[in-house]
Amino acid sequence: MRAYELMTIFRPEMAETEVRNEVTTIEAALAAGGAEVKETDFWGKRRFAYEIEHLNEGYYALVTFEAEAGAIDDVDRALSLSDNVLRHKFIRPE
């Protein structure tokens, strides 16, 4: 299994409880794909260094997990299609 980090930025007009529910849904989807979630770090609302889709801020969440190489494909596709997610990125820390 490989170690991964998933950084996700959610829309600022969402309520914090909605964002936390979305993060829980992402964790469940990762677990369904065979991943083992190690830690979730919710950063809250932060200002961007530059505009993204004409917005200046968003909610940040970082999920640390271990998974096989192909286990993140479905989650990646779902996050790409989600209207609530502005940006997401999978990172392999080393």
Is pTM beyond 0.85? Reply is yes
Q: Is 11 helix (H, G, I), strand (E, B) or coil?
A: coil
> How does pLDDT run across 72-90, given as a tens digit for each residue?
999 999 999 999 999 999 9
* Mean of the per-residue pLDDT values of the chain: 94
Nearest to 9 by CA among 51, 65, 72, 68: 51
Q: Is 76 helix (H, G, I), strand (E, B) or coil?
A: helix
Torsion 93-90-35-64 (CA) sign = positive
Q: Cα–Cα distance between 68 and 33 in angstroms, integer? A: 9
* pLDDT value for 17: 95
> How does pLDDT run across 29-71, given as a tens digit for each residue?
999 989 999 999 999 999 999 999 999 999 999 999 999 888 8
CA distances from 6 to 54, 60, 67, 72 (A): 23, 10, 12, 10
> How does pLDDT run across 59-69, given as a tens digit for each residue?
999 999 999 88
* pLDDT value for 94: 80
